[in-house]
């Protein structure tokens, strides 16, 4: 199976509201695992959102938290562990015994398995001990698998996005934020050339969408947990909705 759209730009400009699985289909499978990503695609998602950090030995690994405590059977900081140490952990049993033995994937493994099958919203995590170098690993991996046209890079940290813009001038970038981004981000944000805004969904209304269109931003919003709100956002014209349960949105949009 290949993606419905040839590129992320085609998808965003299609006039459709895309469905993106938040950390895969995290309502039904352990977040940020291959099982969750595969399930999101089975449920009809147009793309997957995932979180990337750097292991101690320089690999781009897929985890949300800066420690492994909440989503594995291990403990400690992600940035203090090598890839073999991370992949020795059980990343599925905490969610359900059905997923015992699920492993922490690398970005390379995700692209190798899904690179031509879906779109990717890659959130680069900022603030952990491994911050600052992960952008280089992400850019190198995107180039290796030739998937730049399928990727939007997002982060709450505009400094991360400025680094990505230098490394990959043509990649799509989305600034991820909630209603009160830190004031220290205002200056770098003004310097950042980016194509998309990724606001929390309760920030999005008709006035916001008018502002975004006037400034030529795509709008990809998070995290939507009910079908009624998803339909409201589609009516407003958002480009993509990130959801824990992509199947719920797919069903709502097809009814």
Please list the active-site residues.
22, 64
User: Which residue, chain included where needed, has tokens 């199976």?
Assistant: 1
User: Which residue, chain included where needed, has tokens 């982060």?
Assistant: 155
Kind and range of the H or E run holding 142: helix 134-145
Yes or no: say if 108 and 40 are a contact pair by the CB < 8 Å rule: no
Q: What share of the chain is helix, strand, coil (3-state, %, to 5)?
A: 40, 20, 40
Yes or no: say if 48 and 41 are a contact pair by the CB < 8 Å rule: yes
3-state secondary structure 10-62: HHHCCCCCEEEEECCCCCCCCCCCHHHHHHHHHCCCCEEEEEEEECCCCCEEE
Instruction: Give the C-alpha separation, 113 to 238, whole Å.
Output: 29
CB atoms within 10 A of CB 126: 18
């Amino acid at each position: 199976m290949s993606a419905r759209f040839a590129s992320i730009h085609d998808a965003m400009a299609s006039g459709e509201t895309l469905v993106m699985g938040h950390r895969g289909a995290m309502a039904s499978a352990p977040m940020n695992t291959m099982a969750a990503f595969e399930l999101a695609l089975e449920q009809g998602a147009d793309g997957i959102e995932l979180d990337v950090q750097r292991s101690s030995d320089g690999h781009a690994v897929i985890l949300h938290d800066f420690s492994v405590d909440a989503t594995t059977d291990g403990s400690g900081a992600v940035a203090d562990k090598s890839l073999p140490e991370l992949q020795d952990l059980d990343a599925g049993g905490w969610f359900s015994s059905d997923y015992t033995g699920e492993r922490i994937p690398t970005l390379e493994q995700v692209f190798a398995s899904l690179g031509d099958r879906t779109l990717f919203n890659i959130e680069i995590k900022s603030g952990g001990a491994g911050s600052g170098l992960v952008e280089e690993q992400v850019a190198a991996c995107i180039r290796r698998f030739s998937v730049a046209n399928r990727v939007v890079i997002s982060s709450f940290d505009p400094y991360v996005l400025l680094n990505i813009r230098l490394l990959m001038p043509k990649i799509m970038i989305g600034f991820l934020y909630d209603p009160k981004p830190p004031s220290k981000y205002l200056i770098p944000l003004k310097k950042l050339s980016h194509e998309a805004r990724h606001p929390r969904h309760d920030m999005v209304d008709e006035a916001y969408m008018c502002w975004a269109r006037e400034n030529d931003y795509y709008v990809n919003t998070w995290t939507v947990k009910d079908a009624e709100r998803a339909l409201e956002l589609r009516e407003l014209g958002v480009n993509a909705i990130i959801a824990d349960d992509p199947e719920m949105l797919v069903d709502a949009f097809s009814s």
